[in-house]
Chain A
Amino acid sequence: MSSPAVAALPADPFRRSPWPRVAMVALVIYVIYACAQLEVSWARVEIGLENAGRFFARLFPPNFSRWELLVKGLQESLQIAVLASTLGIVLALPIGLCAARNLMPSWATWPARFIIVSARSFHPVIVAILFVKAVGFGALAGILALTLASIGFIGKLFTEAIEEISDKEVEAIRATGASFASVLAFGVLPQVFSRFIGFATYQLDSNLRNSTMVGIVGAGGVGGTLFAAFQRFDYDYVCAILISIITLIMIGEVLATGVRAIFIGNATLSDVFRRGGAHRREMHLEDD
């Protein structure tokens, strides 16, 4: 390097832009301010930590003596998850297809996009509350709420997947004189299929998690039992319910991995049992 260039180097080679530091200070100030606003203080945390010891002591050992009620709740949660996922996926596919701007005219995409956005705008629990008020307590409210959530989630991702496909493949299929339905079957579907299986199984997982919770607002499933146990300070039963829910969700995840292996990786049943979760395509779309 020639000497003028050396002279042009800054005096401190480690000098950085001041902005990260300013942002850090602002963040710290915000945290202090927000803690004060929320009346979060060390004293409260300390009292809480004392409570926590007693609380966790009461969680154990888990009490499975009322397992019948627990199984009934889990069953209902499963039913809610299965039906909501089915309905949600069946409804989301045509809506998502209609919303894809590269295949559909704007008179179709606008209403479809509106449906998807409104289905996504509220948390499933809030939707569940409204459905409980509309159709009464029970599984129906949960099914409707989670169906709506599934339409929003799958509809959005399906639309995005279709909009990202390669036009060239579609053009080639159109050039053979194929009808619109055949273009979908050969030009569009193969390009989005594996992603669709990915988010459909993900949505089943997500609905399973949410179905164990909508009961808190009276929309059926094991959540109601859980909430009641909490309110009665029946903590060992709470622990039993939580363990069952986590087990159920983990089984669901294993099944979902198997389905993905079969439909995306063309695995056989023996592949699935042998490799377990070897074919794993993690998805970055947690949204529940």
Chain B
Amino acid sequence: MAGAATPAAAAAQPPVAERIWRRFSPAQRLARFSVYLVIVAAIAASVQSVEVIPEFLADAPEQVVDLLTRMWPADWAHYPDTVHDALIETLHIATLGTLLSLVLAMPVGILAAHNLVPSTPVNLIAKLILVSSRSVNSLVWALLFVGIFGPGALAGTLAIAFRSIGFVGKLFGEALEEAQRGPIEALTAAGAPWMSRMTYGYWPQVSPAFWSIALFRWDINVRESAVLGLVGAGGIGMVLDSALNLFQWPRVAVVLIAIFAVVVVAEVVVTQVRRRVI
């Protein structure tokens, strides 16, 4: 009978009428309750102290509609003279930044994978690099690189690359750690050196994951690179910034539509490539 496999000792069960059913143990309920309490307290504290002027909030829908009416009709003539070039520059920033991040992230990802580099301190340092890369937003990275290299696409490309290292390196490291041991052990047994184990043992296993991560990140980077110009790091964001500063709303509309179109196209490209190649 099934009763034989009973985990919670069946023999010790009290009569039916005395059994009490609870979904969670008291300690589990306490834990959940504490989280609820913290959430409610955080919301209450935020609502109370945040500096929001209620009139502005009430006014918001009207203002948004007003903004949209000022944007329309869009200034299409603006597209060929400046927007187009800036858009292409944005795509270059996203693509070059992604490629650079792949080059930089691969060694860090390898150092973070415990089965490849069996040294915990090295793994931790590599992971720290990855976490810092992700914690600093791409706009902040852009500010840093504008400070170093001056305004322009170079700063933007580096910002995209450094922001992406954490993402690519983390996922790549995880893919490496999940790799099947069998083929690698076979190569080790055959006396293959480290480099051969990498190229013939690991790479064939992780390359689909690697290209899929790269594509995924490229898609994200196309979106990200569109805003870098706001801090002077090149691309379409600079055109947006100047149009905003001059209150040229119809031009803003053109830029926004262009960004939207490019983001949609990037997403379609990524889905298609993923379906066909990977």
A residues with CB within 8 A of B: 27, 30-31, 34-35, 37-40, 44-45, 47-48, 51-52, 55, 75-76, 78-80, 82-83, 86, 121-123, 125-126, 129-131, 133-136, 138-140, 143-144, 209-210, 212-213, 216-217, 220, 223, 226-227, 230, 233, 235, 242, 245-246, 249-250, 259, 262-263, 266-272, 282, 284, 286-288
Contacts and interface: CB of A to CB of B under 8 A. Distances in A.
Interface of B: 24-25, 27-28, 30-32, 34-35, 39, 42-43, 45-47, 49-53, 56-57, 59-60, 63-64, 66-67, 88-89, 92-93, 95-96, 99, 131-132, 134-137, 139-140, 143-144, 147-150, 152-154, 157, 167, 171, 174, 220, 223-224, 226-227, 230-231, 234, 240, 244, 256, 259-260, 263-264
A125 B256 CA distance: 12
B240 A266 contact: no
Contacts of A31: 96, 99
A83 B135 contact: no
Nearest to A269: B31
Given A30-B95, A38-B93, A44-B149, 17 more contacts: A31-B96, A40-B157, A45-B149, A55-B148, A75-B49, A126-B240, A135-B57, A135-B60, A138-B53, A210-B137, A212-B137, A226-B140, A242-B136, A246-B132, A259-B35, A267-B28, A267-B31
Contacts of B240: 126, 129
* Chain B contact surface mostly: helix
Given A121-B260, A138-B51, A268 B153 contact: no
B56 A122 contact: no
Contacts of B234: 38
B67 A86 contact: no
Contacts of B135: 209, 245-246, 249-250
Closest 4 CB pairs of A and B: A268-B27, A48-B149, A38-B153, A134-B63
Given A136-B56, A217-B230, A263-B35, A123 B224 contact: yes
A24 B220 CA distance: 23
Nearest to B59: A135
Contacts of B50: 76, 79-80, 83, 139, 143
B230 A216 contact: yes
Given A75-B49, A134-B67, A143-B52, A52 B148 contact: yes
A226 B92 CA distance: 28
A2 to B, nearest CB: 27
A143 B43 CA distance: 13
A139 B157 contact: no
A129 B244 contact: yes
A35 B231 CA distance: 21
